[in-house]
Amino acid sequence: MHPGVKIFGVVAAIRFLNAVSIGTFFQPDEFYQALEPAHKLVYGYGYITWEWHEQLRSSLHVWLYALAYKAFGLAFDDSWSTYLAPRFVGAIVAALGETYLYKFALAYTGSVQIATLALAASLCSGWNWFFVTRAFSNNLEMVLTTIGLAYWPWNRPNGGILKSCLFGFLSCLVRPTNALLWGFLGASFVLNNAGHPGKLLLVSLDLTVLFGIVCALAAIPDHLFYGEWTFPLYNFIEFNVVKNLLIFYGSAPWHFYIFQGIPLLLMGYIPLWASAMWRFRNTLLANTSLFVIVGFSCIAHKEFRFIYPLYPIFMVHTAQAARLFLHRRHVKKLAAAVVLLHAVIALFFTRVNEKGEIDVVNWLTNNSEVTSVGFLTPCHSVPWHLSFHREDLVLNLWMLTCEPPLHLASGNLENVKSYRDELDRFYDDPVGFLNNAIGTTQRPWPSHLVIFAHMEDVVSTFLGLSYYECGRFFNSYFHWDPRRWGDIIVYCKAE
């Protein structure tokens, strides 16, 4: 059996156990970027956020889950297929990524030992156990990038460039911001081959044709999803760059990735990665990491997962540094300590912190007395139809919304301060909002009302005897958003 097949089989089994072990919430995009649209494709109902209405996202990611829902539905009832399908896809995508991480490390370094260490580091990563099997488009983006890096002509001047760029193009269709990474690699290739204009011309022509074919083929699933011909890559650039409306989703300081993003992704591997970045500071791989980090640091809106395509590079650098310390004293004890640290962190964040956002939906779903539910919580705080999967609730679920001001021609700091979405209006004046916006045709008083403990005093006082507390679920010891701290409380409507 081919070594790659063995690696894939073992890793897929590990990642499937990883996927089914996760019982916590991280960010809304895990559910609303792929699973809700996929659920709508297969079952006819699902929550479609504004990004899909504005056609900003490629549907490639969605179709993976839609096909899995359909396939599992042939063998299992809906309750099992909706549970197993996304976890199966997550495990397969993760296993592909880590199989090609091994191949990438081997192609780049020529060392089986470094490739094995890179794979081991990834499997023992606390961040990866928490994140890699979730249904984020960033995971598919990272995996496609890893495959592309495995085929990049590191030590083969004339081979691999087309196959590598095929996966690079696909990763950019999934998330256009990955053009930073592939653009830097492409520019480096041009500079390294500046003395061979004929070669560059041929490669450029081949890549132009390849990019055209990839875009044309990707347009087919997008047409099937959106019901019309569209080009999400262009729409994404127009919204985020031309109109600059991304600014409405917040900004972070320039050092966010240095002091938060990279430490979160690497955790106990930081010393190894830092030493490798210094030791190999003049290499293409190190320069690619620096360029992407600096590039994303210049963008106001920042999130940990935006630099996830660098993860395979981080693992290769970690493995390169680890090999230098293999024969040092106490290295086994240090390695065990790092693995234990990662395991504890992974266990806490996959089984404990933010568990209530999943538990409350499971409780509501399986409660026959629930005929309608309203969420007075930050928008998209829980999974939606993909988890409820109850047709009787399709028209009887509501949440507070937080759409950006799509009517504006451009975004700026003045607009940010003046624009208030529905969620803002609730937190600006909870009592006024409850008096004027709830109990209307759009927001009727439901049989069950859900809040975070942060709003308990205000909401319980307003409700009086019309509702009573009928459920409380632990959610978090801490949270980056104070509006989501503490327990989740369910109120039942009094008879």
User: What would the pLDDT profile of 76-102 be if each residue is shown by its tens digit?
Assistant: 999 999 999 999 999 999 999 999 999
Task: Please report how the helices 179-192 and 284-297 are oriented relative to each other, as an axis angle in degrees rounded to 10.
Answer: 140
How much is the pLDDT for 410? 66
How much is the pLDDT for 3? 77
Q: What are phi and psi of 493, to 5 degrees?
A: -70, 130
First to last CA, the chain: 66
User: Contact 456/424 with Cβ under 8 angstroms?
Assistant: no
Q: What is the pTM of this model?
A: 0.95
The last residue of one of the domains, among 334, 351, 368, is 351
The 3-state DSSP class for residue 376 equals strand
Looking at the structure, do residues 188 and 143 belong to the same domain, yes or no? yes
Looking at the structure, do residues 93 and 226 belong to the same domain, yes or no? yes
**∠ CA 74-31-61 to the nearest 5 degrees?**
65
The tally of CA atoms less than 13 A away on the side-chain side of residue 485 is 9
User: Contact 180/295 with Cβ under 8 angstroms?
Assistant: yes
% of the chain exceeding 70 in pLDDT: 96
How much is the pLDDT for 405? 81
How much is the pLDDT for 4? 83
Dihedral sign from CA coordinates of 273, 278, 284, 289: positive
> Both tokens of residue 44?
């006819």
Cα–Cα distance measured from residue 435 to residue 438, given in angstroms and rounded to the nearest whole number: 6
How much is the pLDDT for 399? 97
Cα–Cα distance measured from residue 348 to residue 360, given in angstroms and rounded to the nearest whole number: 19
Mean confidence (pLDDT) of the chain: 94
- As a whole number, mean pLDDT of residues 380-398 equals 96
- As a whole number, mean pLDDT of residues 156-163 equals 80
Cα–Cα distance measured from residue 9 to residue 22, given in angstroms and rounded to the nearest whole number: 21
Looking at the structure, do residues 181 and 218 belong to the same domain, yes or no? yes
Q: Of residues 406 and 290, which shows the higher confidence score? A: 290
- pLDDT at 198 > cutoff 80: yes
Residue 113 is part of which domain span? Answer: 3-351
- pLDDT at 379 > cutoff 70: yes
Looking at the structure, do residues 179 and 34 belong to the same domain, yes or no? yes
Contacting residues for 30 by C-beta, under 8 A, at least 6 apart: 134, 135, 136
For the chain, the farthest-separated pair of C-alpha atoms sits apart, in whole angstroms, at 82
Report the number of distinct structural domains present in the chain. Answer: 2
Q: How many CB atoms lie within 10 A of CB 399?
A: 21
User: Amino acid identity of 53?
Assistant: H
Q: Encode pLDDT of 230-248 as tens digits.
A: 999 888 888 877 777 776 7
Q: Encode pLDDT of 58-71 as tens digits.
A: 999 999 999 999 99
Looking at the structure, do residues 304 and 405 belong to the same domain, yes or no? no
The last residue of one of the domains, among 319, 351, 383, is 351
Looking at the structure, do residues 308 and 376 belong to the same domain, yes or no? no
Looking at the structure, do residues 359 and 345 belong to the same domain, yes or no? no
Q: How far is CA 409 from CA 148, 233, 240, 245, 274, in A?
A: 37, 19, 12, 9, 43
Looking at the structure, do residues 220 and 71 belong to the same domain, yes or no? yes
- As a whole number, mean pLDDT of residues 248-275 equals 93
User: Contact 225/63 with Cβ under 8 angstroms?
Assistant: yes
Contacting residues for 72 by C-beta, under 8 A, at least 6 apart: 80, 81, 84, 85, 88
Looking at the structure, do residues 414 and 319 belong to the same domain, yes or no? no
> Both tokens of residue 280?
């190999």
- As a whole number, mean pLDDT of residues 376-388 equals 96
> Both tokens of residue 198?
């004929």
How much is the pLDDT for 404? 84
How much is the pLDDT for 2? 77
The 3-state DSSP class for residue 124 equals coil
Looking at the structure, do residues 367 and 447 belong to the same domain, yes or no? yes
Cα–Cα distance measured from residue 90 to residue 466, given in angstroms and rounded to the nearest whole number: 43
Q: How confident is the model at residue 125 (pLDDT cuts 50, 70, 90)?
A: very high
Answer left, alpha or beta for residue 382, where phi above 0 means left and psi between -120 and 50 means alpha.
beta
For the chain, the 3-state helix, strand and coil shares in percent, each to the nearest 5, are: 65, 5, 30
Sheet of 448-452, strands arranged across: 397-399, 373-376, 448-452, 486-493, 467-476
The last residue of one of the domains, among 304, 335, 351, is 351
How much is the pLDDT for 158? 62
- As a whole number, mean pLDDT of residues 413-420 equals 74
Q: Which of 62, 102, 83, 101 is nearest to 19 (CA)?
A: 83
User: Contact 258/295 with Cβ under 8 angstroms?
Assistant: no
How much is the pLDDT for 251? 79
- pLDDT at 250 > cutoff 80: no
Contacting residues for 75 by C-beta, under 8 A, at least 6 apart: 81
Cα–Cα distance measured from residue 310 to residue 29, given in angstroms and rounded to the nearest whole number: 20
Looking at the structure, do residues 290 and 185 belong to the same domain, yes or no? yes
Looking at the structure, do residues 328 and 360 belong to the same domain, yes or no? no
Reported as type and span, the H/E element at residue 101 is helix 78-109
Exposed/middle/buried for 279, CB within 10 Å: 0-12, 13-18, 19+? middle
